[in-house]
Amino acid sequence: MGCLAYLLPPYGLYVCGGGPDGFSVGKKQFFKPHKFRQTLFDEGLKQKPDAAVAIGDHIYYDLKGQSLPAAGKGIIKVIAGWYLRFRYGAFDRSKDIIGTPNEAVIKTICDEQIADLYGTRFKSVPMFFVSDDHDYFENDDATKDIVTFPPDDFSRRGFEAIADLYYPKLPHAPSPEVNRQFGILRYGKLFEAPLFDCAGLMSFEGEHKGLIPKDIEGWIIDRISKSDARHLALVPSHPLGWTAGKWREWYPDVVAPKGFTGVVSNDHLAELDGELTTNATKYLWQKDWWEQHQRLLKALSNRAGSKFMFSGDVHAQGAIEIQTSGDMSLKESPVTSILVGPVGTSDATWPSSARSIGAATPEWLDVRSLVDTKEINGFIMVNIDQTKATIRLHDCGGYDRSLNETGITQRVEELSLKA
């Protein structure tokens, strides 16, 4: 789910901004109405941020390799298919995106979920869009029937078309070929943040398996070690420090029946009965992803001075201090990791509903909770000066629709990290 963060004196961050306006099936609402999300945006804009970062999932239209989403089961799936075809149209996967009828479909989807949602609110605030799985028209599924990542040719071309049409390329990319997925937000010598997509160029085959390519990993670690910025933050599209049992995670945790030790493949929205465990084997999960996690975390821990991480994807808000990761102790130089909070999540898309489990601490980590992890919509504001980074987590509610929350900030929790 997408997130928004507002950064530097101050900046703002958030995730999971996408999703159709108030989309519901039966009594369950999948995504908040635009009005709720726009009120949340305005809460951050009142503080006059110097920049904003939207972390992943700017659209939701998961195709599962088909011409339009396969939503629900049985008659619900048929009705949903008719509705989606009427509202948005259907893709022809054999044709190009631009210059064919596919262009009208992609513009109908993104005009609603990006252009109409944002309007001109951020016209005076630089926006940085970090992509994640749903921006490739897929959820990160791995089952015996379908493996959605790395993206196939159609999903990749769809992602490129969205990026070209709706948001700017990322600055200071390691090369022009990857400036849709990787870049750097830099503010003089005060702050630097490598931004990176953990979905589009991931691999689970071949010699170098990773959620990011080996050369990009090297580029990020090089920035961590050589940056002369007072504060440095990693901004991955997928979090370090939490698991929701998803396939495309740094961690092996998966939802399985108690005591089960076989291979598990968790379907999205499958109403699972089980618990998070590492005793079962997560289908197609790669130990190499964990080893990449360890290298990134070690490099960040070894950096002198202020270092932290912002991320989203697991539809929650919270903050932790990572003290031990596997057999690696970080207690002398722990790393703070912050879930910035989603914007548009509603009844059916909270992890506790969609995955039958809330975002939790991976079994291979020891962490200290700084702000309790909660399934709420929200954003963070980051104020940075020479001596410290002050991070304010804005809780905008939205979990329980009976409370009729509007997107206005309900409460704020604050962290202070010394330079």
| pTM of the predicted model as reported, rounded to 2 decimal places | 0.93
Collapsing DSSP to helix, strand or coil, 234 comes out as: strand
Partners of residue 182 on adjacent β-strands: 196
What CA–CA distance (Å, rounded) separates 154 from 65?
Answer: 9
Partners of residue 371 on adjacent β-strands: 319
Spans of all domains in the chain = 3-60+127-418
Q: Residue 158 CA to chain centroid, in angstroms?
A: 18
What CA–CA distance (Å, rounded) separates 269 from 72?
Answer: 9
pLDDT, tens only, 351-384: 887 677 888 999 999 999 999 999 999 999 999 9
Q: Is 241 left (phi over 0), alpha (psi -120 to 50) or beta?
A: left
pLDDT, tens only, 297-321: 999 999 988 899 999 889 999 999 9
Would you identify the CATH topology of the domain 3-60+127-418?
Purple Acid Phosphatase; chain A, domain 2 (3.60.21)
Q: What is the mean pLDDT of the chain?
A: 90
Partners of residue 383 on adjacent β-strands: 390
Q: Where are the alpha helices (DSSP H) in 167-303?
A: 214-226, 287-302
Q: Return all residues near 7 (Cβ < 8 A) that are at least 6 apart.
A: 13, 49, 50, 51, 52, 53, 185, 191, 193, 382, 384
* Per-residue model confidence (pLDDT) at position 71: 64
Say yes or no to pLDDT of 161 above 70: yes
pLDDT, tens only, 2-56: 454 544 434 556 555 678 887 777 788 888 999 999 999 999 999 899 999 999 8
Collapsing DSSP to helix, strand or coil, 208 comes out as: coil
Partners of residue 255 on adjacent β-strands: 276
Partners of residue 129 on adjacent β-strands: 54
Secondary structure element (H or E) that encloses residue 12, with its range: strand 11-15
Nearest to 39 by CA among 1, 4, 10: 4
What CA–CA distance (Å, rounded) separates 42 from 89?
Answer: 32
Q: What percent of the chain has pLDDT over 90?
A: 74
For residue 239, whether the previous peptide bond is cis, meaning omega lies within 30 degrees of 0, is no
pLDDT, tens only, 217-265: 999 999 999 999 999 999 999 999 999 999 999 999 999 988 999 998 8
Nearest to 365 by CA among 327, 318, 319: 327
